Amino acid sequence: MLILALAVILPRQVPIEQRIDALLSKMTLQEKLGQMSQGGIPDPPDAKMLKLLREGRYGSLYGGASPETRIKIENAARQSRLGIPLILGADVIHGFNTGLPTPLGQAASFDPALVQICSRISAREASSVGIQWTFSPMMDIARDPRWGRMAEGYGEDPFLASAMAVATVKGYQGTSLKNADSLAACGKHYVGYGAAEAGRDYNSTWIPEGLLRDVYLKPFQACSEAGIASYMSAFNAINGVPATANPFTLKQVLRKEWGFDGMVVSDFDAVRELIPHGFAADGKDAARKSIMAGLDMEMISDEIWKYGPELVKSHQLDIKYINGAVRNILRTKFRLGLFDGRPQSATEIRPTTATMSASKKLAEESLVLLKNDKSILPLSKDIGKIAIIGPLADRPQDQLGSWANANEKDSVTPLAAIKAKLGDSRVLYAPAITVRWQKGWSYDQFLTDFLSNKDQSGFAEAVAAAQQADVVVVFLGEIQNISGEASSRSNLDLPGAQNELVDALAQTGKPIIGVVMAGRPLTMSAVTAKLSGLIYAWGPGSMAGPAIIDTLFGDSVPSGKLPVSFPRSVGQIPIYYDHLNTGRPILPDDSDHYTSRYLDLPNSPQYPFGFGLSYTTFEYWATHVKKVGEGFKVFAEVTNTGKTDAEEVVQLYTHRMAASVARPIRELKGFKRIHLKAGESQRVTFWLFRQDLAFWNQEMRFTAEPGELEAWIAPDSVSGTPAKFKLP
């Protein structure tokens, strides 16, 4: 067998397409369909699986497994007739052994360079146990925080999400996919998954083509240009056509327009799900429709494997579609060096001081200071006693956020970190709310109990601690899987009795600082007035504790900005900053009844996209736009007017006054993280070219129509005074 395998796998000097031709010409239909199938890794691998692998039944396996298991299954696949190696995938979403902040938190850093460094760490650690392919980054634009998977992506804005996704891909894939420490990235969920109707996971989406192209496709396109190895087709239907069998997105856009030649795997079971979607009549129809639409590999369900032979034999499916899919898969495997003895680390790479400090830095940059009355923060280290309250102050697993791989034993919680900083005697701790687990409960019961648990029996201890303290820090929010897959919520208030907890603490009259760990924006208008300070921490990862505590005491200065708008109430959803103006925008003095507004709530979010305070203050001077050659130089002076050295994320927005298709009131076109010493000023410059100002017009052409525009250099998406300029 091995001799035959060697004969058809041409040496590495031969161009990849020729190597693929040689292999394809020898493959049976069964072997081709095997390549198009992805199964789950049984750990330890059973004899049945090893036998199937020797028969060429799978092109890929995925899931968590020990390095020994991975080696065993790889060897079994290599013993198959043609010796085609497996590609081993896993969900390495935000860190592997070193737990990084959730992607939404990473986006709040507005720091792609650091995100790239941290993704490199993930790749090094994950590849050290034999993982070759990660189902990440998720780049679904999400404008509805009811959708729990918002935590896994980069928020509401296509420009920011593109920058973050590209940085992540570069970090994973490194300088070459062939390196032992590179991971092939998989952009997901292609496409529109974040637009799930009513924020209900897996729900259908309705996205007009212009919006699809201007917003939802943008990060995917940016990653294609950056050389991403693969994509995952989404669960959802887009305008009635499921993404896993959608010829428009999979063929027209991805292959024809972008020239993508890597591979596309379906999401879990998504081929079979074409049946309940009401798109395929049965498994055979599902296999045919997904292959013809341009899908290459089926994850978990086995319709392609089962019905492929019959479809080809009956001429319902031309073999050219199967050959095309297998070609994409083999190309990806060749690119990873899987046929050429890809090197493999001998030992698992564990977290180190350096990786943990990178994770801490990213966590610090992701913290968004939303409120700081009378500069209560930073706290003085000379403070007497501090009360640490709340259900999330000491939850090593929950601080990792959803889809975490890291071991909770490597987590440093806020409680541990503050004790390390101040010593035990000055710290009073009371969780106040217990995260309950009862024998026999399903996981759903556990999660819904956390959401509805109104038990206040722990409040008295918490209030007593607060009364003895000089300041109270209350850790609120969501435990790990309250956000994430299949974790949609219709109510976005702090879960359970957390609002009541803040009420009870407020009655002590002590200053209260809230720290919220959550996968998504929560509606907190009921409690913000009672808090003197508020930090939004997302799912901060292994180093949540040191990052948050150093920030509370000013050893780190907050600089994160919101990657999503925070609604005042779920009634405002979907809410996002780059919306259209309408013909009847709300008037500045709200004097007209007949405008687009609510009777019972302002239109504005509680906290806008791009917003985040610092321990210092920044003054933004006038924005200037100068035409220079083919481009526009946009610049403004920014001054640190406070007493603390700090970083600031300076943002560039534009607006087009009139166009063949109405344009959003503002669109993010650039951002820069700058460092300013107290009193220091810096001129911040951005460049805009025609291409940056283009959009999909009425004829669905990507065009920069001539016209008048406005530009703001601003600290967030709502402030500043624009400068006008003209695009000829």
Taking residues 222 to 261 in sequence order and writing x for each that binds ligand NOJ by CB under 6 A, - otherwise, the string is ----------------------------------------
Give me the DSSP letters along 128-159.
TTT--EE---B------TTSGGGGGS--S-HH
* Minimum CB–partner distance for residue 558 and ligand NOJ (Å): 30
* Minimum CB–partner distance for residue 670 and ligand NOJ (Å): 30
| CA neighbor of 230 nearest in space, from 57, 62, 28 | 62
Asked if 154 interacts with ligand NOJ (CB under 6 A), we say: no
Tell me the helices (H) and strands (E) count for the chain, helix number first. Answer: 21, 26
CB-nearer residue toward ligand NOJ: 332 or 565: 332
CB 142 within 8 Å of CB 92: no
CB 274 within 8 Å of CB 286: yes
CB-nearer residue toward ligand NOJ: 266 or 355: 266
* Minimum CB–partner distance for residue 299 and ligand NOJ (Å): 7
Asked if 188 interacts with ligand NOJ (CB under 6 A), we say: yes
Would you state the torsion angle of the CA atoms of residues 584, 588, 592, 595, taken in this order, to the nearest 10 degrees? Answer: 30
CB-nearer residue toward ligand NOJ: 64 or 208: 64
CB-nearer residue toward ligand NOJ: 268 or 653: 268
* Minimum CB–partner distance for residue 617 and ligand NOJ (Å): 41
* Minimum CB–partner distance for residue 488 and ligand NOJ (Å): 13
| Farthest-apart Cα atoms in the chain, separation | 83
Range list of H helices, 515-669: 525-528, 544-552
CB-nearer residue toward ligand NOJ: 105 or 148: 148
User: What angle, 0 to 180 degrees and rounded to 10, lies between the N-to-C axes of helices 158-173 and 218-225?
Assistant: 30
592 is catalytic: no
Asked if 267 interacts with ligand NOJ (CB under 6 A), we say: yes
**What token pair was written down for 530?**
């009672």
Residues 481-520 that bind ligand NOJ (CB under 6 A): 485
CB-nearer residue toward ligand NOJ: 299 or 389: 299
Cβ-based neighbours of 600, under 8 Å, separated by 6 or more: none
What is the strand order of the sheet 186-190 is part of?
186-190, 230-233, 263-266
**What token pair was written down for 128?**
């050290």
* Minimum CB–partner distance for residue 47 and ligand NOJ (Å): 25
Element of type H or E holding 466: helix 459-468
**What token pair was written down for 586?**
């709300």
- Residue for token pair 């005074």: 721
Residues 528-587 that bind ligand NOJ (CB under 6 A): none
* Minimum CB–partner distance for residue 595 and ligand NOJ (Å): 40
| Residue 272 CA: distances (Å) to CA of 200, 293, 317, 340 | 20, 15, 18, 34
* Minimum CB–partner distance for residue 234 and ligand NOJ (Å): 8
What is the strand order of the sheet 723-727 is part of?
667-676, 646-656, 707-714, 723-727
* Minimum CB–partner distance for residue 618 and ligand NOJ (Å): 38
Residue 533 DSSP symbol: E
* Minimum CB–partner distance for residue 37 and ligand NOJ (Å): 15
Cβ-based neighbours of 113, under 8 Å, separated by 6 or more: 167
Q: Which of 91, 267, 410, 578 is catalytic?
A: 267
CB-nearer residue toward ligand NOJ: 299 or 379: 299
* Minimum CB–partner distance for residue 538 and ligand NOJ (Å): 18
Would you state the torsion angle of the CA atoms of residues 558, 559, 565, 568, taken in this order, to the nearest 10 degrees? Answer: 30
CB-nearer residue toward ligand NOJ: 135 or 671: 135
| Residue 248 CA: distances (Å) to CA of 293, 489, 703 | 8, 31, 21
CA gap 104, 155 in Å, rounded: 6
CB-nearer residue toward ligand NOJ: 42 or 210: 42
Cβ-based neighbours of 130, under 8 Å, separated by 6 or more: 67, 70, 71, 74, 88, 344
CA gap 143, 713 in Å, rounded: 23
| Residue 406 CA: distances (Å) to CA of 2, 107, 639, 685 | 38, 20, 40, 39
Indicate the residue whose CB is closest to ligand NOJ: 135
Residues 86-115 that bind ligand NOJ (CB under 6 A): 91
Element of type H or E holding 655: strand 646-656
* Minimum CB–partner distance for residue 593 and ligand NOJ (Å): 45
User: Bridge partners of 535?
Assistant: 369, 515
CB-nearer residue toward ligand NOJ: 201 or 461: 201
CB-nearer residue toward ligand NOJ: 135 or 635: 135
CA gap 651, 610 in Å, rounded: 8
Give me the DSSP letters along 313-374.
HTTSS-HHHHHHHHHHHHHHHHHTTGGGT----SSPPPP-HHHHHHHHHHHHHH-EEEEEGG
CA gap 564, 481 in Å, rounded: 20
Residues 671-710 that bind ligand NOJ (CB under 6 A): none
CB-nearer residue toward ligand NOJ: 486 or 662: 486
Task: Using CB under 6 A, count the residues that bind ligand NOJ.
Answer: 6
Q: Which residues are catalytic?
A: 267
Could you list the residues that contact ligand NOJ (CB under 6 A)? 91, 135, 188, 267-268, 485
